Amino acid sequence: MKNYIPLCLILIGLIVGVCVFSVYPPKTKIRLGKDLQGGVSLIYSVKVADDSDPDEVLAQTIDVLKQRVNPQGILDIAMQPVGRDRIEVVMPLPNDDVRALQQTYRDSLEGLLAVSRIRPSQLEAALEAGDAAARFGGTDARRAEFERLQTAWNDARAARAELTIAEAADPVDATTVDGLLDRIARSEITVETLENTILSQTFGDDRLFNILALNGVAKKRGEDGELDASSSERAVAFAELEAEFPHLKSEIGSLRSDYAAFEAQRTGLDDPEDLKRLLRGAGVLEFRIAVRDGAMDVPVTLLREQLAERGPNNTDSPIARWFAINDLKQWTDEDKPETIEALLADPVSYFKNRYGLIAAAKDGKQYILLYVTPEKSMTHTDGDAWAIRRAGRTIDDLGRPAVSFGLDSAGGSRMRRLTSPNVNQPMAIVLDGEVYTAPNLNSAIGSSGIISGNFGEAEVTYLIRVLAAGSLEARLSSEPISTSILGPAIGQDNLVRGLEAVAISVGIVALIMILYYFGAGLIADISLMINAVMIFGIMAMIDGTFTLPGLAGIALTVGMAVDTNVLIFERIREELVNNGEDLRDSIRLGFSKASSAILDGNITNLIVCFILYQTAATEVKGFALTLSIGVLATLFTSLFVSRVLFAVCTEVFKIRSLPMLPTVFPSIHRLLEPKIDWISVRGPMLFLSAILAIGSLALFISRGADVLETEFRGGVSVKMTTRGAEAGDNAGTERELAGRLLLARSDVEDRIHAIGDENPDDPTLAQLSNATILTVGTTTADSEAASFQIKVANPPGMNEDENIADAIVAAIVDRFGDELAVTQPVHFAAEDDPDHSPHTFSLERKTLGESIGRDGAGIQVDAFRGGVAVVIDGITPPITLEDAAERIKRMRNQPDFADTAGRDVEIVGLDKAEQGAHREIAVMVFDDTLSSFEVALGTWDRGLAQREYELLQAALTREATLDQSSFSPKVAQNLAASAIVAVILSLLGMLVYIWFRFGSLRYSVCAIAALVFNISICLGAIALSLTIGERSIGGFRLLDEFRIDLNVVAGLLTIVGYSLNDTIVILDRIRENRGKLSYASRGVVNNSINQTFSRTIMTSGTTITSAIVLYSLGGTGIRPFAFTFFVGLVAATYSSVVIAAPLTWSVGAKEPEDSRPRDSTSLSTG
C-alpha cells in the first residue's frame, strides 16, 4: 500500500476536483425539484385505442406538447409517461430572482417602446407641450433633430398668431401679411419634412416582439470552434435593427442584454394556469390550400406590404393569410447546405421556383400565403367534428418511404370536398398555426391518403408526428386529473429548512465521531465531506434533481457512511484490544473483516433504491437517486478513501497507536461489550414484540381510510396564505410571519368545517366537515399562523373525470375573502357574452363620450384615435382603476395574448367612484398596426376589438387560485398500488439476496420477521399520531397528524433498507463466528450480538440524532419522513438485537464444546 499512496491521493484529488468543478456555481449547476423551488405537476389522461401501442401514443403526445409549450427548449418543463395511459408535466415556478430579472427586462422593453414607436398624434401632443426633444430625443443627434422640429413648429405657431393680429388690423398691411404667410409656409414645410423623417425612423411593437420570439440559440461556430452567439436568429435580427436605427442602439442593447439575462434564469411560465391553457390548446391540425404563384384572386403585392408593415395577423384580405413555417430544414436538402442559404437569402424566389408557393419574410421568420376561405380550408371551427385516426410509415408506388394517414368518416367526407376541386394544387398541413409541409395533391383524397416525396427517415418521422398531433385534442383530457402546485416561497422554505437540518445533523454526527474515535473520527469526517462532495457533484453531472426526500436521502447517507466507518473502527479496536495486534495489522484486518457486512448492507439499500426509482412518484425518485449515489460514494470513501488516509497515518507519519474513547476509558469498553444471554429472554421478548406488532397493526387498521393521505385515497390538499397585515390586525413578527395577518388554527378549522355543515346536500362541499387543517411554516405558541394546509377527501362514488379542487378552492376563497393573499375575480354584466360587438367602439372622434355614445365622458382621445374602447358595465364588486390596470397588464403578458403585447392602454371610470372603485369603466387601446383609419374594418375588428374584449374578459373573471394538490380516485389507487408493490418487491428482493449470501432460508425469515415488526410499529405510530396530534400537548411538541403519503412511503422503504443493514451486521458476525458449523449455537448467537453491541449503539445513536434534527428543524415538508424514520430507527435497533438475531438459534441445536468466537477470546457467553 505504501508505494501506491501518492497515486491514490492523486486519484482522490482528481475525483474531488471533478465533482467540485461540476457543482460550481451551485446556484446554476444544482437542479432543484418543485418541492424545493416551487412548481406545478399536472397529470393528464390519454385515450389509447385498443389497437394502438401505448408507448408510441404517449411518446407522440409528449412530443407534440413539447413543441407547443416549449418549442425552443429553453424552459425546464419536463414531460414523462405515467403508466400506460397518462403523462405527467412538471414545471418550476419563478422565484423572486427570476421575477426581478423579468421586471428589469420589461422596464427596458417599455423604455425602448417609449422612444421607438412615435405616432403622429403623440408627436403632435409633444410638440404642443414643448417637450418633444425631452420625450423622444435619445442620442445628441436625435435630440438636435427634435429641437429643429420644435423650433420650426413653434415658429409656425407664432407666425399664425401674428397673422391673426395682422389680419385684424385696420388697415391691413399687405406686405406684413404676405411675409407672415411666406414664413408660415416655410416653417410648415420644415415641420412636415422633419416629421416624415422622424416617423420613418420608428418601428412598431410587433417587430420587437417578433424578434424576441426568435430562437436565441447560436447556429454557427466561430474560428475558435466555439458557438458564435451573434449567429442566432434573434441576434441577427437585433443587429439588423441596430443598423437600421443607430440612434436607438443603446436602448436596443439594453433590452437585448436584459432579456438574455431573464431568459437564462427563466425555467418556466409565470403561472400554473398559463401552462394548463397552453396544454389545452395544443394539437390543432388544419389542412389549407396554398396560394400558387400567379393566383389572380389574391392581392399578393399588397399582402406582402401589409405583412412588412403590420405583421402576419393584421392583413386585410378575407381570402388568404400568412402562416409561419415551422422548420425550414424540411424545405431544404439536408446534404446541400447551400439550399438553406438560398432560402434565407431570398425566400420569395426560393419558394416560387422550387415549390410554386407565395412566400415572404419578416423579422427573421418566413411565411407562406394560404387560403382561409371555407371552400379551401379544412379546420375545426366550422362543420362536423373530425379527427386523424392513424398515421404511419409506408412506401409509395416508386418504392420510396412515404407517410400514410387515415381520417374518421366525418374527416373523410370533408377531405374529399376540399381536395376534389383542388387536384394538382399544394395543400398545406398546418399544426397550431404553423405550416409543416405543403405536398401537391395528385388526386382527390377521402378517408385515407399517402404523402410521398424524396423523404429520408427524419422527414418521415417528422410528418408522422405532425399528423399524429391532429388527434391530440381527442386523446388528451381537457383538464388534468391530478394537480400539485407548490409556491416558490414554500419551496424556498423547504430548501432552507431542509439544508439547515441536514447541515446541523451532519455537524452533530461529525462532532460525535471525533469525540468518540479521536483521530479515526477525523478520518471518518474527511470521508464524510468527500462523500457529500461526490453526491452533489455526480448529481450535477447527470443533471439529477434534488427533491425534499432527496435531502432526507443525504441525511440517511450520512448515517450509512457513519455505520460503515463504525464497523471498521470497531473491528480495528477488537484487533488492538482483544487480539493484541499492532496498528498496521489491526487496520488491515479491520477493513478485511468489516467489508463483508458493509457490502451486504449497502447492496440491500441499492435494491430498495432501484425498486423505489422504478415505482415511485417524481419527488421520491429524487430520494432513490440521491441515496443510490450516496451508497456508491459511501463504499468508495469508506473502503478506499479511509484506507488510504489510514495508510498515510501509519506509513508517512509513522503513527503506531490509535486511541479511542473506549480504550482511554476501559469502563466504556466494558459497558459497550456486555455479557448478556439474549437467548434466555428470547421467548418473552418475542411475545412482547408480537403484542406490539399486532396492536400497532390493529390501531392502524381501525383508522380505516382516514390514515391515508389524499394522494392515496383521492382528494385535494389546498394551501392558503393570508394577506399582509393592516392597521389593527393581528400581525406576525418572526421569520416568514413578519407583517402577515395571523389566524388561529382553531378558528380556521371551525370556519372550514362550517362550510361542510352548511352544505350537507353538496357531496363535494360536505367533505369539508371532516377536513384536516394543519399549519404550514412558522407557528406561534398560540397555534397562530399565516399559512394553512387544508386536506379534503374525495366524496364516495366520485367519477374518474371529476375534480373537486375548483369547488373546494372557490368555497375557501369565498369564506375567507379579503383575508387571503389572492386576486379575487370580479363579475360584470356581459361576462358570458361571446359577442364583442355591443361592447367595443371605434375611437374616431375627439372625445371618448362621442365615440361610445355617452354624455359626460369628455376625455380627449387624441393619442388613441383609430383604436378601440371596450366598455364594461355592472362590475361586482367595484374595482379601482389601478387594480384593473394590473389585471390587464398581467393577462397581456400571458402566452395566449402575446400578440397584444406593447399596446397603449388607458382606463377611464365612467361612473362616480365609490371609495376609489368603479362599476363602469372604459378601456381605451391603440395599436399603430391596427388603426381603424389605416386597415380594413374586418381586420381592425378581428385583430383589435375582439382580442381586447377577450383579454378583458379573461383578466377580470380569472378565478383566484391557491396552491393545491389533487388526486383523482384512479390516480390515488395507482399510487397506493405502486407503494404496496414497492414494499413487496423490496422484501422479496432482499429475501432472495440474504438467502443467497447466507446460504439458508432461515436467515431470510429472521430478517423479514424483523422488517415486518419495524413496519408494523411505524404504521401504528402514524395511526397514534392522529390521536395525539389532535391534542395541545402533541401540538406543542411539534407532533402533527401524520398520514401515509409519498414521504412516509419513502421513510418506510428507508427503514426497510436501514434495518436490514442493521440486522445483516449481526447476522454476518453470526456467520463468521459459527465457522464451519451448519447452524448457529446459543453461544455463537449471544457472542455475536454482544460483540456488535457497541457498533449498534454508535450507529443507531448517531442516525437517530440525525432523525431528531430532521424532525425538529426540517420543516413541515420533511417532517412526515423524519417521523417515520425516527420511529423506524428505534424499532430497527430493537428488532435486530431482540428478534432477528435470536431467531437464528434453533432450540434443538447442539452446543459445541468451545462456543467462543475464534478471534475474540476475551468474551464469554454470559
Q: What is the DSSP letter of 941?
A: I
* Helices (H), ranges, 725-880: 745-758, 805-816, 848-852
Q: Is the pLDDT of residue 182 over 80?
A: yes
Least confident of 278-282, 574-578, 625-629, 983-987: 278-282
What proportion of the chain, given as a percentage, has pLDDT over 90?
21
Asked whether 440 and 424 are in contact (CB, 8 A), the reply is yes
Give 404 or 279, the one with higher predicted confidence: 404
Give the pLDDT band (50/70/90) at residue 1051.
Answer: confident
What is the predicted pLDDT for the residue at 738? 65
Containing 484, the helix (H) or strand (E) segment is strand 482-486
DSSP 1075: T
Of 275, 277, 280, 281, give the one whose Cα is nearest residue 89.
275
What is the pLDDT of the chain when averaged over all its residues? 82
DSSP 464: H
Return the top range by mean pLDDT from 218-232, 452-466, 719-733, 1090-1104.
1090-1104
pLDDT of 543 reads: 77
| Helices 1046-1074 & 618-636 angle (0-180, nearest 10) | 30
Q: Is 27 left (phi over 0), alpha (psi -120 to 50) or beta?
A: alpha
Q: What is the pLDDT of residue 1156?
A: 46
pLDDT value at residue 1036: 46
Look at residue 644 in the predicted model and tell me its pLDDT: 94
E-strand ranges in 20-145 read 31-32, 39-45, 78-82, 86-92
Residues 477-517 pLDDT 10s: 777 777 776 665 555 666 666 677 777 878 888 898 899 88
- pLDDT value at residue 265: 81
**Alpha carbons 77 and 267: distance in angstroms, whole number:** 7
Mean pLDDT for 829-851 is 89
Residue 757 Cα distances to 212, 764, 789, angstroms: 53, 12, 19
Q: State whether CATH 1.10.3720.10 applies to domain 283-475.
A: no
User: In this predicted model, what pLDDT tens digit does every residue of 881-907 receive, in sequence order?
Assistant: 988 998 898 888 776 787 787 788 899
Return the number of other C-beta atoms located less than 10 Å from residue 86's C-beta.
21
Average pLDDT of the segment spanning 43-56:
78
Q: How many CB atoms lie within 10 A of CB 67?
A: 20
Per-residue confidence band for 68, with pLDDT thresholds at 50, 70 and 90: confident
| pLDDT, tens only, 717-774 | 888 888 887 777 777 666 556 677 888 888 898 999 999 999 999 988 998 988 878 7
- Give residue 282's pLDDT band: very low, low, confident or very high (50, 70, 90): low
Alpha-carbon distance values, 778 to 474, 605, 788, 1131 (Å): 46, 34, 11, 30
> Quick check: 1131 pLDDT over 60?
yes
| Residues 1129, 1121: Cα–Cα separation, whole Å | 12
- Residues with Cβ within 8 Å of 195's Cβ and at least 6 positions away in sequence, in order, are 120, 123, 149
The Cβ-side half-sphere exposure at 84, using a 13 Å CA radius, reads 6
The arithmetic mean of pLDDT across residues 390-398, rounded, is 80
* pLDDT of the residue at 1128: 93
pLDDT at 911 over 60: yes
Q: How many Å apart are CA 777 and CA 786, to the nearest integer? A: 8
Q: Are 535 and 622 in contact (CB under 8 A)?
A: no
Report long-range pairs for 770-773 (Cβ below 8 Å, ≥24 apart). Answer: 772/1041, 773/745, 773/748, 773/749
- The residue among 567 and 545 whose pLDDT is bigger is 567
Q: What is the pLDDT of residues 109-157, one digit of tens each?
A: 888 877 777 777 778 878 888 888 887 776 677 788 888 999 999 999 9
Alpha-carbon radius of gyration of the chain = 37
In the chain, count of helices (H) and strands (E)?
43, 28
Within 271-394, residue ranges assigned H as helices are: 272-280, 300-310, 337-345, 347-355
Q: Which pLDDT band, with edges at 50, 70 and 90, does 1163 fall under?
A: very low
Q: Coil, strand or helix: which one is 719?
A: strand
The pLDDT of 415-425, averaged and rounded, is 91
Max CA distance (Å), the chain: 148
Residue 766, CA distances (Å) to 312, 674, 757, 775, 808 in order: 52, 60, 7, 22, 10
Rounded Cα distance between 1047 and 1030, Å, is 21
Res 319: pLDDT: 92
Stated pTM of the model: 0.66
**Range among 494-503, 717-726, 819-828, 865-874 with highest mean pLDDT value:** 865-874
Alpha carbons within 13 angstroms on the beta-carbon side of residue 602 total 28
Rounded Cα distance between 730 and 27, Å, is: 37
Asked if 407 contacts 471 with a C-beta cutoff of 8 angstroms, the reply is: no
Contact 721, 764 (CB under 8 A): no
In this prediction, residue 1166 carries a pLDDT of 33
Q: Nearest to residue 1053, comparing CAs of 1079, 1086, 1026, 1015? A: 1015
Within 13 Å, how many C-alpha atoms sit on residue 1052's CB side? 27
CA distances from 467 to 61, 289, 347, 407, 640 (A): 11, 17, 26, 10, 56
Higher pLDDT among residues 969 and 142, named by residue? 142
Give the pLDDT confidence of 1062-1072 residue by residue, as tens digits: 888 888 888 88
Reported as a pLDDT band with limits 50, 70 and 90, residue 357 is very high
> 944: pLDDT confidence band, cut at 50, 70 and 90?
very high
Nine-digit cell string for 999: 446460504
State the DSSP code for 93. P
Q: Work out the pLDDT band at 34, boundaries 50, 70, 90.
A: low
Helix (H) or strand (E) segment spanning residue 1134? helix 1119-1135
Which long-range CB contacts under 8 A does 582-589 form with residues at least 24 apart? 582/656, 583/650, 583/655, 583/656, 583/657, 583/658, 584/650, 586/658, 587/643, 587/646, 587/650
**pLDDT tens figures, 668-708:** 877 777 888 999 999 999 999 999 999 999 999 998 877 88
Alpha-carbon distances of 665 from 318, 522, 668, rounded to whole Å: 96, 19, 6
What is the pLDDT, as a whole number, of residue 1162?
A: 33
Q: Find out whether 844 and 866 touch, Cβ atoms under 8 Å.
A: yes
Question: What does the alpha-carbon distance between residue 119 and residue 310 come to, in Å, rounded to a whole number?
Answer: 14
Q: From CA 947, how far away is CA 864, in angstroms rounded?
A: 17
Per-residue pLDDT tens over the stretch 776-816: 766 554 568 888 888 888 887 776 556 787 788 889 988 98
End-to-end CA distance of the chain: 40
CA dist 297 and 862 (Å) reads 38
- Which single residue is written with the C-alpha cell 383521492? 714
Average the pLDDT over 333-354 and give the result. Answer: 85
Rounded Cα–Cα distance for residues 1052 and 1161 (Å): 39
| Bridge partner residues of 716 (DSSP) | 792, 966
pLDDT at 520: 92
Query: Tens digits of per-residue pLDDT, 185-220?
Result: 999 999 989 888 887 777 766 677 778 877 777 766
Q: How far is CA 816 from CA 791, 821, 883, in A?
A: 16, 10, 20
Taking the CA atoms of 839, 844, 849 and 850 in sequence, report the sign of the dihedral they define: negative
SS3 933: coil
- In whole angstroms, give the CA distance from residue 15 to residue 295: 68
CB 234 within 8 A of CB 215: yes
- The CA distance from 964 to 280, in Å, is 19
| Integer Cα distance of 1093 and 897 in angstroms | 68
| Band of residue 1149 on the pLDDT scale cut at 50, 70, 90 | low
User: What ranges do the domains of the chain cover?
Assistant: 118-201, 283-475, 487-657+668-701+970-1143, 723-780+787-814, 837-958
Predicted confidence (pLDDT) at residue 235 exceeds the cutoff of 80: yes
The H-or-E segment that residue 917 falls in is strand 917-918
d(CA 929, CA 867): 10
- The residue type of 263 is E
Chain centre distance of CA 462? 27
From the list 741, 757, 744, 759, the residue with the least C-alpha distance to 822 is 741
Strands 545-546, 31-32: pairing kind: parallel
Pairing type for strands 86-92 and 78-82 reads antiparallel
Question: How many beta carbons lie within 10 A of that of residue 586, not counting itself?
Answer: 22
